[in-house]
């Protein structure tokens, strides 16, 4: 995925109805520099399990009436809501141990803040339905050098933990799987940091994505892959009028000269998708809607062949604090 930079502030991320002051954009640089940006979160929906038959431990989900009141409170004109289920693979847990929860939430807040950025043309609010931390490889998705089979494995696995009923309190619009496996293209090129199906957010079969844990640029990767799931293309397409560098949906992984934002192409594309309703349809709140459920609607035709979107390695993401402008 892409680039870096931004303003240091602390917007809330809605975690199961609990507003928790999250971590912030601007936490780029060496670990000692990032430490000053970090705070401890106590989310209510973190779960972990060690085998496929073990129950998911953690706090029970909100009841239907509680969820309905939560939706009403967070509904606001012009704001689009995305409900997310996040799973950290066993390799991520092995790397971060007891810090896994905090580390993942940090990057989620970075991605969530990018989706709130005015440059996108529509403000998204990311709601974390549940976080699952896999502590053992047994029962986890099979991530390999084959991107297609890896995505198929994650999508299939996600359907075992994400309730199909759109009105179920535990249902999420998208399932994000984080791995430390070094993703690669069929030609052996490992300059890739994420994969999803273009427009997959609207498909019950393909509403999943994989991101590689590469540090605090993971948050940018998350925003980039969610953009693909909504139907956004890479910047730099012929005739688009946008270059391949410098924005969230950049295709070359080059770092921007200024603060990270969405390109005019991404903005036009998203607004066009929202107007047409052909690929992406988001309600103003996660409340029930006739014939469609809440949140993301309008499924992608099942006969269409999956179109995988691969995202390149970001360059110059982390720089020493002393060299920053």
What is residue 240's predicted lDDT score, i.e. its pLDDT? 82
Q: Is the pLDDT of residue 132 over 80?
A: yes
- pLDDT at residue 61 tops 50: no
Is residue 98 among the annotated active site residues?
Answer: no
Domain map (residue ranges) of the chain = 72-276
Least trusted range by pLDDT, from 20-34, 218-232, 237-251, 263-277: 20-34
CATH superfamily, region 72-276 = Collagenase (Catalytic Domain) (3.40.390.10)
Task: Give the integer Cα–Cα distance in Å for 167 and 100.
Answer: 29
Stretch among 126-130, 146-150, 285-289 having the lowest mean pLDDT: 285-289
Question: Residue 38 class from Cβ within 10 Å (0-12 exposed, 13-18 middle, 19+ buried)?
Answer: middle
234 is in an annotated binding site: yes
**What integer is the mean pLDDT of 30-50?**
36
Asked if residue 297 has pLDDT above 90, the reply is no
pLDDT at 205 over 60: yes
Q: For residues 122-136, give the mean pLDDT.
A: 92
pLDDT of 51 strictly over 50: no
pLDDT at 206: 92
Could you tell me which residues are beta bridge partners of residue 46? 131
pLDDT of residue 186: 87
Percentage above 90 pLDDT, the chain: 43
Report the Cα–Cα distance between both ends of the chain, in Å, rounded: 22
According to the annotation, is 224 in a ligand binding site?
Answer: yes
The pLDDT assigned to 189 comes to 87
Q: Of residues 168 and 324, which shows the higher confidence score? A: 168
For the record, the structure tokens of 38 come out as 């970090």
Tokens of 278: 């052909």
Averaged pLDDT, 251-270: 83
pLDDT the model gives residue 293: 35
- pLDDT tens digits for range 298-307: 222 222 334 4
Scan for tokens 């496929």, then name that residue: 52
Which structure tokens are listed for 109? 């807040």
For residue 142, count CB atoms less than 10 angstroms from its CB and return exposed for 0-12, middle for 13-18, buried for 19 or more: middle
303 appears as a binding residue in the annotation: no
Q: What is the mean pLDDT of residues 242-251?
A: 90
Count of residues making up the chain? 325
Q: Strand pairing partners for 296?
A: 282
**Maximum average pLDDT range among 1-5, 67-71, 161-165, 274-278:** 161-165
Average pLDDT estimate for 57-76: 42
46 versus 183: the higher-pLDDT residue is 183
Q: 49 and 93 in contact (C-beta within 8 Å)? A: no
For 72-114, what is each residue's pLDDT tens digit? 333 344 688 899 999 999 999 999 999 999 999 999 999 999 9
Which stretch, 173-182, 184-193, 196-205, has highest mean pLDDT? 173-182
What's residue 35's pLDDT?
32
pLDDT tops 60 at residue 235:
yes
Lowest mean pLDDT among 11-15, 89-93, 158-162, 170-174: 11-15
DSSP symbols for 149-180 = HHHHHHHHHHHHHS-S-TTSTT--SEEEEEE-
One of 83, 184, 225, 233 is an active-site residue; which one?
A: 225
């Amino acid at each position: 995925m892409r680039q870096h930079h931004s303003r240091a502030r602390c917007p809330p991320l809605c975690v199961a109805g609990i507003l928790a002051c999250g971590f912030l954009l601007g936490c780029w640089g060496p670990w000692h520099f990032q430490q000053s940006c970090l705070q401890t979160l106590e989310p209510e929906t973190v779960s972990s399990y060690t085998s496929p038959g073990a129950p998911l431990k953690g706090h029970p989900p909100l009841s239907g009436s509680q969820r309905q009141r939560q939706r009403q409170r967070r509904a606001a004109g012009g704001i689009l809501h995305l409900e997310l289920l996040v799973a950290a693979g066993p390799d991520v847990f092995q790397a971060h141990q007891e810090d896994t929860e905090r580390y993942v939430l940090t990057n989620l807040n970075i991605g969530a803040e990018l989706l709130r950025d005015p440059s996108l043309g529509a403000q998204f609010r990311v709601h974390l339905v549940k976080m699952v931390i896999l502590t053992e490889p047994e029962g986890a998705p099979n991530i390999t050098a084959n991107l297609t089979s890896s995505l198929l494995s994650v999508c299939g696995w996600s359907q075992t933990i994400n309730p199909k009923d759109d009105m179920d309190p535990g249902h999420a619009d998208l399932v994000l799987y984080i791995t430390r496996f070094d993703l690669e293209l069929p030609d052996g090129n490992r300059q890739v940091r994420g994969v999803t199906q273009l427009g997959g957010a609207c498909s019950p079969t393909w509403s999943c994505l994989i991101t590689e844990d590469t540090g605090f640029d993971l948050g940018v990767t998350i925003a980039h892959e969610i953009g693909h799931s909504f139907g956004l293309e890479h910047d730099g397409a012929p005739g688009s009028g946008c270059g391949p560098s410098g924005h969230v949906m950049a295709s070359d992984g080059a770092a921007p000269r200024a603060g990270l934002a969405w390109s005019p192409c991404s903005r036009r594309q998203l607004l066009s998708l929202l107007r047409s309703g052909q690929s992406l349809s988001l309600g103003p709140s996660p409340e029930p809607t006739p014939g469609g459920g809440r949140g993301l609607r309008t499924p992608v035709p099942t006969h269409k062949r999956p179109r995988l979107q691969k995202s390149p390695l970001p360059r110059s993401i982390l720089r020493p604090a002393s060299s920053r402008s």
